[in-house]
Structure 1
Amino acid sequence: MIKTALHRRLPLVAVGIAVLLWSTSFGISSEVLKTASPAALSVGRFAIGLIVLVPLAARRPLFARTVRDPRTILLGFLGVAIYYSLTNVGLEFTTPGTAALSNAALPALTALLGLLILKEHLAPRTIVGLVLATAGVVIVAGAGLTLDIGVMLCLIGLASYALYTVLLRKGVHAGPRQRAAVGRQMAGVVDPLVLATATAVWGTAIMLPWLVVEMAVGAASLPSGWGGLGGLLILGVVITAPTLVLFNYGAERLPAAATGVLTAAIPAFGYLFALLLGEPFDAITALGGAVALVGVAIASVTAPSTDSSPAGSGLPPHEDVAASPFERD
C-alpha cells in the first residue's frame, strides 16, 4: 500500500527534481557565456547530454521510430530549440537573476494553454496553488524584473516551453476503451528516456544551422577555463540530461496546470542559488519566493495521486507495432 502511494507520487517528485535542477541553469549558463557564444552553449550542452542519453535510449524499444515521429520533431522544436536558444540569447542582454525571474510567466501560460488545448478542468486546490504561486512570482518580478530585449526573448521562449508541456499531455486523456486499447499496445509504448532523448536529438539538429551561421560570420566562440568548460559539462551531464527525462516523465502524467504550478518554484530556487553565488539579499524578493513555494507545496501535497500511465502514452500509437513485448524497432 505504501509503495503504491509512493509510486503514484513519482510524477510530482520527478517534476520537482527537474525544477530544482532547472533553476540552477541560469547562473551556470551565464558563467559559460562569458567565454562561449550562445549557439555554442546551446548546441554544446545538448550534444554532451546526448552523449549520456543516446547509449541508454538506443537499447530500449522504439527509439528509432520515436525519432522519426513528426510529433517528436515538434516537441524538439518547441521544448529544446526555441526555448533554450532564446533563453541563452536573452542572457546576453539581461542578468541571470532577471532571466530566472521571467519564469514567473510559465505557470500561468501552462495553465492557460492546458485549459484552451486540453480542456482541462482545474481542481480547487490547483487553483489555490496557482493563485499563490502566481502572486509569489509577481512579487518577485516586481522586486527585480525589468522589461528589456533579454526578458522579451526569455518570455517568447517560455511561451514555447509552455506549449511543449501541454503537448506532452495531449493524447494522454482517454476513456476506458482507449485506455484498454493502450494497454493492449504496451509493446508500442515509448518510455520517458526514449521520448526525451529523441526530442533532444531533434532540438539539437534544429539548432545546428544557428551554430553554422555563427561560425560563418565569425561570432562563434567555444567555452574556455574552468567556468566555461566546467559549466558546460555540468549543464550537459548534471542538468540537461536528467531534467529532460524527469520533466517528460512527470509532465506527461500530471495535469498541465499542476506541472505549471510546480515550475513556479524556479524563480524562488533560482534566487536562492543566486544568494549562494553572492547576490545581495532582498527582502521583497525573498517574500515573493516564499509565497510561490507555499503555492507549489499546496499543489504538490494536495494534488490527487496519479496512476503511472504507460510511459510515452501521449505518443500516437504505431500501427505497425507487433504484439510481442520484445519487439524493438
Structure 2
Amino acid sequence: MTHGTHSRRLPLIAVGVAVLLWSTSFGISSEVLETASPGVLSVGRFVIGLAVLVPIAVRRPGFARTVRRPRTMLLGLLGVALYYSLTNIGLEFSTAGTIALTNAALPALTAVLGLLILRERLAVRTVVGLVLATVGVAIVAGSGLSLDVGVLLSLIGLASYALYTVLLRKELVTAPLRRPGSEQTATTDVDPLVLATATAVWGTAIMLPWLVLEAATGSASLPADAAGWGGLAFLGIVITAPTIVLFNYGAERLPAAITGILTAAIPALGYLFALLLGEPFDPVTALGGAVALVGVVIASASTPAIDSSPPGSALPPAEDDSA
C-alpha cells in the first residue's frame, strides 16, 4: 500500500473506530441513568473526558486561538450540547436499543446536508452504499421503533449532529485559507485533538446551565453505586474522549456522505450491544442491521476520491491571533 493510499485510509479507520466506541454508549448510558440524572450524565462524561484531553491539548499550538473562535462555539453547541443532551434525555423515555435504532436517520441526514451545503457529488459506490444502508436501517426502524418522546428528541439531536459533521468540513471545502500577500495556503501544525477538545469545552460550558437548573429544582442525582460511577468514568475516558478526537479527525477529511455512511453501523452495533445487555432478540431487526453493515462496507471499501487534508487545515491562520 502506497503512502498516499495509507494516508487516505486513516480517516476511514478513525471514523470506524469512533463509530464502534459510539455504539457502546447507548447501553452504558442507559445503565448510568438508572440512578443518575441526564444533566449529571451529560456534563459528567464530558468533564471526565476533558480531564484527559485538556492537559494534552493545551501543550499543542493553536488551542487558545481555536477556543476563541465563534465557529468552535457553534460546533460545541451542535455536536456536543444538543446531540448528547437530547440523546440522554431521550433515554429517559425509550430503551437503549430504540435510541440506537433511531440513529438510522443519521447517514441520510448527513448525506443530504453535504449535498445541499457542500455541493458534494456522490460517487456511484457511495450512492449504492447509502441506498443499502438506508434500506437496512429502514428495516431496523420498521421492526419495532415507536415514535415516542424519546425518539423525537433523539431525531432532533441527530439532525444537529448531521449539521455538525457537515460544518466540520465546510470551511475546509469552501474557504481555502491563504495568508495576505502570500501564495502559500495557510495551515497550522495544530492536530485534530485541539479542535475536538476546544469543541468539547464549549459544548460542556453550554450544558452547565442545564446541570445548575437540575440542582436548583432538586432533580439532579449522582450515580448511586460503584457500577454507576464506573459506567460514567468509562463513558468519559474510554468512549467520549477518543470518540470526539477520532470522529473530528475523520469527518474533517472525508466527504460528508462517506462519514454518514460509516455512521450507518451505529444502529446495528448499538442494537447488538443492547442485546448483550438483555434486550430481546428480533430477527427482522437483525436482518436490517446486516443489510446496513453491507452498505457501510460497499461505500467504504474503496479509497475515497479525495486526499486526506493536513491536520489543522480547517483551523484559523496565524494572523487571527491579533484579532
TM over 0.5: yes
| Map of 1:224 onto structure 2 | 224
Q: Distance in 1 between matches of 2:34 and 2:320?
A: 49
Secondary structure of 1:302 counterpart: coil
Offset at 1:321? 5.9
Opposite residue 270 of structure 1, the aligned amino acid is: G
Q: Distance in 1 between matches of 2:42 and 2:69?
A: 23
After superposition, the Cα gap between the structure-2 partners of 1:177 and 1:317, relative to the gap in structure 1 and judged at 3 Å, is closer
Matched, 1:59 2:59: yes
Q: Distance in 2 between matches of 1:153 and 1:223?
A: 23
Contact 1:126–1:303 (CA under 8 A) maintained in structure 2 = no
After superposition, the Cα gap between the structure-2 partners of 1:182 and 1:189, relative to the gap in structure 1 and judged at 3 Å, is farther
Gaps in structure 2 of 5+ consecutive residues: none
Matched, 1:19 2:23: no
Secondary structure of 1:24 counterpart: helix
| Map of 1:185 onto structure 2 | 186
| Map of 1:295 onto structure 2 | 295
Q: Distance in 2 between matches of 1:3 and 1:54?
A: 31
| Map of 1:211 onto structure 2 | 211
| Map of 1:110 onto structure 2 | 110
Contact 2:43–2:208 (CA under 8 A) maintained in structure 1 = yes
Q: Would you identify which runs of 4 or more consecutive aligned residues in structure 1 move more than 4 Å?
A: 174-179, 181-184
Contact 1:254–1:306 (CA under 8 A) maintained in structure 2 = yes
After superposition, the Cα gap between the structure-2 partners of 1:150 and 1:246, relative to the gap in structure 1 and judged at 3 Å, is same
Identity %: 75
| Map of 1:36 onto structure 2 | 36
Q: Distance in 2 between matches of 1:60 and 1:176?
A: 22
Report the count of equivalent residues.
321
Offset at 1:172? 1.4
Secondary structure of 2:111 counterpart: helix
Offset at 1:303? 4.2
Q: Counterparts in 2 of 1:39-50, with a 5 A limit?
A: 39-50=39-50
After superposition, the Cα gap between the structure-2 partners of 1:178 and 1:64, relative to the gap in structure 1 and judged at 3 Å, is closer
Offset at 1:176? 9.0
Secondary structure of 2:274 counterpart: helix
Residue by residue over 1:6-47, the C-alpha shift from the partner in whole angstroms, topping out at 9 and shown as x without a partner, is: 222000000000000000100000000011000000000000
After superposition, the Cα gap between the structure-2 partners of 1:32 and 1:251, relative to the gap in structure 1 and judged at 3 Å, is same
After superposition, the Cα gap between the structure-2 partners of 1:54 and 1:175, relative to the gap in structure 1 and judged at 3 Å, is closer
Residue by residue over 1:79-99, the C-alpha shift from the partner in whole angstroms, topping out at 9 and shown as x without a partner, is: 000000000001001110000
Q: Distance in 1 between matches of 2:311 and 2:67?
A: 16
Contact 1:27–1:96 (CA under 8 A) maintained in structure 2 = yes
Q: Counterparts in 2 of 1:34-183, with a 5 A limit?
A: 34-173=34-173
Residue by residue over 1:220-274, the C-alpha shift from the partner in whole angstroms, topping out at 9 and shown as x without a partner, is: 0011213210100010000000000000000000000110000000001111112
Opposite residue 304 of structure 1, the aligned amino acid is: P
Secondary structure of 2:92 counterpart: coil
After superposition, the Cα gap between the structure-2 partners of 1:255 and 1:68, relative to the gap in structure 1 and judged at 3 Å, is same
Opposite residue 190 of structure 2, the aligned amino acid is: V
Gaps in structure 1 of 5+ consecutive residues: 323-329
Offset at 1:182? 9.0
| Map of 1:273 onto structure 2 | 273
Q: Distance in 2 between matches of 1:63 and 1:82?
A: 23
Opposite residue 199 of structure 1, the aligned amino acid is: T
| Map of 1:6 onto structure 2 | 6
Q: Distance in 2 between matches of 1:103 and 1:303?
A: 25
Residue by residue over 1:125-148, the C-alpha shift from the partner in whole angstroms, topping out at 9 and shown as x without a partner, is: 110000000000000011121100
Opposite residue 185 of structure 1, the aligned amino acid is: A
Offset at 1:5? 2.2
Q: Distance in 2 between matches of 1:130 and 1:279?
A: 28
Greater shift, 101-110 or 217-226, is seen at 217-226
Q: Distance in 2 between matches of 1:295 and 1:127?
A: 9
| Map of 1:327 onto structure 2 | none
| Map of 1:311 onto structure 2 | 311
Opposite residue 186 of structure 2, the aligned amino acid is: Q
After superposition, the Cα gap between the structure-2 partners of 1:311 and 1:176, relative to the gap in structure 1 and judged at 3 Å, is closer
Q: Distance in 1 between matches of 2:145 and 2:43?
A: 28
Offset at 1:288? 0.3
Q: Distance in 1 between matches of 2:77 and 2:34?
A: 26
| Map of 1:246 onto structure 2 | 246
Offset at 1:306? 4.3
Contact 1:36–1:220 (CA under 8 A) maintained in structure 2 = yes
Residue by residue over 1:112-167, the C-alpha shift from the partner in whole angstroms, topping out at 9 and shown as x without a partner, is: 11111111111111100000000000000111211000000000000000000000
Contact 1:9–1:305 (CA under 8 A) maintained in structure 2 = no
